Structure 1
Amino acid sequence: MNTTSSSEQPPTLSTDRRIALIAFSVIVVFSLLTAQPATAAESSNPVCNEQSGTLTDMIEGFVQLTTGLGIMGLLVVWQADELMEMFTLSREQKASLKEHKRGAMKSGVVLTVLGPLFTLAGNSMDLPIAECVNLIPF
């Protein structure tokens, strides 16, 4: 009761793999060829080549200010949730407030860890901006 003939079968798995391998190879070769001019642009990084250092100071100051305000916001949210939890009687509201505090704590951790993580990852990947900008906020 097979209505399809043998000539109408879908392509075999090896043909699909061959097409995927060719497509992947073309993408890799294309990305390698287009990435070559970017290595020449590393020496002309406007952030690191600036004489006065104003731009690097602005970036570092922005990260410090953002991290400081984020931590202060975390403390305000945490204290407000604690205060609201004292006056809340239902279990659903208490569970909701605990979930809100947990989300605020996750945001604070991400905000505090992201700058140092970018600095370490940038140095290990030899990113040119990581050599002249320190994103560790403390």
Structure 2
Amino acid sequence: MLRTVLGSKIHRATVTQADLHYVGSITIDEDLVTAAGLVEGEKVQVVDITNGARLETYVITGPAGKGGICINGAAAHLVKPGDLIIIMSYLLAEEEELLGHEPRIVHVDANNRIVELGQDPAEPVPGAVRQLSARGA
């Protein structure tokens, strides 16, 4: 039986741009795409921490080192520059594959620079205030 599980998460990224007239997708800084193990065209879920919106789209790789996160197309009605978001990818895996599976978690700062890489999807951003872990730590 195949199960859908978290493949990667870019946690608390800040949206830098929203372009209503672009042909859909989310443009993500190449450094973040690589760190999260994403690929161009991969389906991702975007959860807006600021307003609660949730949407699915696909990845376009943006220039490295710029910290750019651009919401494109109709999703720009839901997610605005300055919003905090979580970008998640999922994968299908057999039961046996799940035993050793660890998702790639990318924690970023307010400028979308990587501050820590991890495998625990419940771990708060290191050094952040007012974040609670589902693990109670």
Which structure has more helix as a fraction of its residues?
1
Would you call these one fold, judging by a TM-score over 0.5? no
More relative contact order, 1 or 2 (CA 8 Å, 6+ apart): 2
TM bucket normalised to smaller: under 0.3
Structure label with greater radius of gyration: 1
